[in-house]
Structure 1
């Protein structure tokens, strides 16, 4: 059933029309399957394009979108995304973010990433001692934006329903997809069916559109889980600190990331073992708070001791933490101290090296999910194409999942607009193959980079790679021109209507980190080869002796 349809392109209230199709076919030029962030972003992008908005476009979503349409919450959601500045600017240019609640988003102007074993560190963005560090968008300082998924989806849906003529077919579960004279036909459980010139799958990992298009994929599950929570932290006492800084520490069990939200709130994503994720969910929230603070500050052996005692009563756990801190000489003179809270007065000299101390965890925000990597053999088939998680999924350590999907959206919109402008068939292989050529290698490089980085930080403490990766990070951190180059390259995006690349002066740190990862991985491989050769020589010499 078509639940909503908009008329007019100039804003104002939109008339909602209920249509009973009685099973009759509703022909479309474009039919999008999936009403998540990627699907709604694509619909708004197509609906804003001067070359495409006159087409008959529909969006099918299995569930009701009323939860998105009427979303409102005092608490912050644990489902947040770090949207790169380039992607955010693109959505702004289309007008799709006109109703976004900007009071609930947080710009990120700096990012710190470090090795949990050696403390080797790399930073992106403004330097910590810049006087105007906290300025948003001053001189192109914003690297990305922390946004709740529901906030983003609500804004996109509002734009679609009020500024485009796109049909929203919600609460519409697909029963089958087949072909009708080469055109895809989508049949719904309601008995309705819809024929379309082009079928787009934005329908996630278990994509029905991908199965229909017979596009194979390759991937595997990691022996890891993502654990998320919404945090409340101590107020910032430094204007150059964490209100706009993201922190990520690579632990032997997986990376933990602190991502700032407005005020003293923050979102945490902790990639760890499935056993630890289960343990964290079952732990006393006060104990979990201390574990999170410790994860950004303590050595591996101390963390292991805390993991093994996470089931202790809170008072006993605090006593254990104090004993461990005392044994390591950790006191109030260092920001590594977590047992007594932040010191009053002048903060420790290493204060800016860590996120603010977490004081509590938002009730009900703890959740976990399995981690996996997957990539399809291609993105297009006969009158079908894939975007977002339907085409690829990666480890969350670089925050690239939705960003890759939004880059797909820009590229596909550009390709379809150009094909339409030249009078081509937007469902043809000739048109769609341009999209695959544009996005496939870029996505594959990012998936490979995140997979390699994850593996690089999983090696044992005695592995020569531990020191090699630290040298690589520290060397890159001193090469500002290299970091600037990567970030500027990551700022390349697609024009909203021209279909040609344009340069964004805003540095896109999240994608810049991905580019840096590729370089670090290549360097590590070369150094590893040298290291293995040296080890082999030493063993041979030892055998001779």
Structure 2
């Protein structure tokens, strides 16, 4: 966070990225098109991005705040709504690429000599340094060996040559679920795969049916393996995140855009038995089969008032999927190493909290570094880094555990006692507005 604070503004910082920074800076899409990689930003995350000067460089015309969430369970139709405006907290949906471009523009605006960007660069190896007889004692410092991730990426200012070494007083691993930094530090991550995939796509909605308040929608579908969520984007667009069984994900990705649109509309409106039947249709025989089946079945069911507007179109080429996993490391720190984001914890996306937790980590680590420098401490020392762990570990464990529990609770199929108890709990909570508002505020500021 060089530049975010006068205290840390003199630190030399190296940012290493395998992808092409220039391509990220130039990212641009038509106003009628949206990336399928989006995130839900909690108010605390937006506040942090404002604090460090990134939010001013984000294209706000492509960010959609939302005031309300409608959530319900398909087997019992038990329903709960969250009024974010009443709780004085408004979340927002943004494209990943928009945020990354904003961050790079913020770094460029600082024109800081002490920030080095390594574009198109991979970490070929990490070792521990040595104590040099005629130089510094680097015996406890991580030494990174950098090499081009693709020789065609980068330019004279950013490209690296093989065997370029960097010594790190503090190595921050923000390098994802398979973190090489975590491996170097011998930090073990426990967890499991859910045997589920998240299907994503960019959608165009029927604007004549838009709710008067900007709303996010989520419906739990236990028989199909998880919830489907529709997150609002500007100008009548939306982002899909459908957590489902791997075979279902493969099927959905194989559909034409019109057939996928029909399946999404069905998932918010039909019972699970009807929806499972739609998964048996052969799109190669009749590309209109899904839409025709949906139209016929909707004549025989009543649709709740809180369903989302119908999907008119799926943006071509945006249907994709990713595996769902849970991971949490035993520690976030080792001498001169700190892990943030997915390198430290990976959670189920049903609550849309992943990036928020990662930004919370970065904010806490920034405060820890500032505290250490203010008090004359070594920023890479374990004693200094403990403050970061104290602030983040329990919060991340609680939120990750809660998301894992919700996944398991809402994957219990059938209409037995457990489903009845689940429905009763939701109905009781829906009838207690003060409790709902409290939970909403807690979630908004917990990151």
Q: Same fold (TM over 0.5)?
A: yes
Paired residues of 1:53 and 1:164 also in contact (CA < 8 A) = no
Superimposed CA distance per residue, residues 519-540 of structure 1 (whole angstroms, 9 cap, x where no aligned partner): xxxxxxxxxxxxxxxxxxxxxx
Aligned counterpart, 1:169: 118
For residues 298 and 264 of structure 2, the distance between their equivalents in structure 1, rounded to whole angstroms, comes to 15
> Which ranges of structure 1 fall in alignment gaps of 5 or more residues?
1-44, 127-132, 134-138, 337-349, 494-510, 512-545
Aligned counterpart, 2:310: 357
Q: Give how far 1:489 is off.
A: 2.6
Report how many residues are paired: 417
Matched, 1:426 2:375: no
For residue 218 of structure 1, give the secondary structure of its aligned residue in structure 2. Answer: strand
For residues 388 and 333 of structure 2, the distance between their equivalents in structure 1, rounded to whole angstroms, comes to 8
For residues 110 and 164 of structure 1, the distance between their equivalents in structure 2, rounded to whole angstroms, comes to 40
Aligned counterpart, 2:232: 260
Aligned counterpart, 1:319: 292
Q: Give how far 1:310 is off.
A: 5.0
Aligned counterpart, 1:251: 221
For residues 290 and 118 of structure 2, the distance between their equivalents in structure 1, rounded to whole angstroms, comes to 52
For residues 164 and 407 of structure 1, the distance between their equivalents in structure 2, rounded to whole angstroms, comes to 26
Which of 241, 256, 262 aligns to 1:269? It is: 241
| Shift in alpha-carbon separation, 1:238–1:257, aligned structure 2, 3 A | closer
For residues 441 and 324 of structure 2, the distance between their equivalents in structure 1, rounded to whole angstroms, comes to 30
Which of 326, 349, 356 aligns to 1:396? It is: 349
| Shift in alpha-carbon separation, 1:238–1:200, aligned structure 2, 3 A | closer
| Shift in alpha-carbon separation, 1:217–1:315, aligned structure 2, 3 A | closer
Aligned counterpart, 1:98: 56
Paired residues of 2:146 and 2:165 also in contact (CA < 8 A) = yes
Matched, 1:387 2:334: no
Paired residues of 1:46 and 1:413 also in contact (CA < 8 A) = no
For residues 79 and 329 of structure 2, the distance between their equivalents in structure 1, rounded to whole angstroms, comes to 34
For residue 426 of structure 1, give the secondary structure of its aligned residue in structure 2. Answer: coil
Report which of the two structures shows the higher radius of gyration computed on alpha carbons. Answer: 1
Aligned counterpart, 1:87: 45
The CA RMSD measured in Å over matched residues stands at 1.7
Aligned counterpart, 2:407: 454
For residue 312 of structure 2, give the secondary structure of its aligned residue in structure 1. Answer: strand
> Which ranges of structure 2 fall in alignment gaps of 5 or more residues?
130-138, 148-161
Aligned counterpart, 2:157: none
Paired residues of 2:210 and 2:309 also in contact (CA < 8 A) = no
For residues 310 and 164 of structure 1, the distance between their equivalents in structure 2, rounded to whole angstroms, comes to 57
Paired residues of 2:87 and 2:440 also in contact (CA < 8 A) = no
| Shift in alpha-carbon separation, 1:223–1:492, aligned structure 2, 3 A | closer
For residues 92 and 229 of structure 2, the distance between their equivalents in structure 1, rounded to whole angstroms, comes to 15
Taking structure 1 as the reference length, the TM-score comes to 0.74
Superimposed CA distance per residue, residues 370-400 of structure 1 (whole angstroms, 9 cap, x where no aligned partner): 1111111100001000000000101110101
Q: Give how far 1:283 is off.
A: 1.4
Paired residues of 1:125 and 1:143 also in contact (CA < 8 A) = no
For residues 390 and 314 of structure 2, the distance between their equivalents in structure 1, rounded to whole angstroms, comes to 44
Which of 235, 246, 250 aligns to 1:278? It is: 250
For residue 46 of structure 2, give the secondary structure of its aligned residue in structure 1. Answer: helix
Matched, 1:68 2:21: no
Matched, 1:193 2:146: no
Paired residues of 2:43 and 2:445 also in contact (CA < 8 A) = no
Aligned counterpart, 1:21: none
Matched, 1:56 2:12: yes
For residue 80 of structure 2, give the secondary structure of its aligned residue in structure 1. Answer: strand
Matched, 1:370 2:323: yes
Taking structure 2 as the reference length, the TM-score comes to 0.90
Q: Give how far 1:479 is off.
A: 1.1
For residues 247 and 466 of structure 1, the distance between their equivalents in structure 2, rounded to whole angstroms, comes to 21
For residues 474 and 371 of structure 1, the distance between their equivalents in structure 2, rounded to whole angstroms, comes to 28
For residue 173 of structure 1, give the secondary structure of its aligned residue in structure 2. Answer: strand
For residues 174 and 288 of structure 2, the distance between their equivalents in structure 1, rounded to whole angstroms, comes to 48
Superimposed CA distance per residue, residues 9-50 of structure 1 (whole angstroms, 9 cap, x where no aligned partner): xxxxxxxxxxxxxxxxxxxxxxxxxxxxxxxxxxxx343122
Aligned counterpart, 2:73: 115
| Shift in alpha-carbon separation, 1:483–1:318, aligned structure 2, 3 A | closer
